[in-house]
Amino acid sequence: MRRYQLTIGDKTFEIEVLSLRGEQAQVLVNGRTYDVNFRPLAPGAAAPVAPQPAPSRPSMPSRPVAPPRPAAPVMPPLDKPAGALEPGAVTAPMPGSILDVLVQEGDRVEVGATVVKLEAMKMENDLQTLIAGVVQEVRVKKGDNVSVGDVLVVVAAE
């Protein structure tokens, strides 16, 4: 029947119309056969083609298979689990840059208080303490680059 080259964005597809029956067609797209439904957008926009007998190829599913999802990024292993470093340690969950340190040594903090803002992958992340207490150590400053598992702030329980 008819062959077309269709470009969407930066992807090009070779399309061959194998058969037409009313508003149904069997098409070959980059080597895969699909059964599709269509209809003209405006009267007379597409002239109907006389139906042709279907080829003797086995029919494929009527919709394309979704492309595989990319694998989730693998984080490098830590020498020790982050929680095992120190009970009140606030650690970097991912590599990034310190945007702001919101506490100083001696400050009292509650559970869930944001102590550091970390920029990673162009996103701002609020890093919070898991315990209430007094800030014992601040190990980073604005602009520092950190790696996964680096201890940023240590809070001592009261």
For the chain, give every domain's residue range.
Answer: 1-65, 82-157
d(CA 98, CA 120): 9
Is the CA virtual torsion 55, 59, 61, 65 positive or negative?
Answer: negative
Question: In order along the chain (158 residues), what is the average pLDDT of each group of 10 residues?
Answer: 79 81 80 78 56 56 65 52 66 93 95 93 91 94 93 92
Fold entry, domain 82-157: OB fold (Dihydrolipoamide Acetyltransferase, E2P) (2.40.50)
Cα dihedral: 41, 46, 63, 4 (round 10): -130
Q: Note whether 130 and 142 are within 8 A (CB).
A: no
Q: Tokens standing for 154? A: 């240590």
Q: What is the pLDDT of residue 10?
A: 80
d(CA 13, CA 6): 5
Q: What is the pLDDT of residue 80?
A: 45
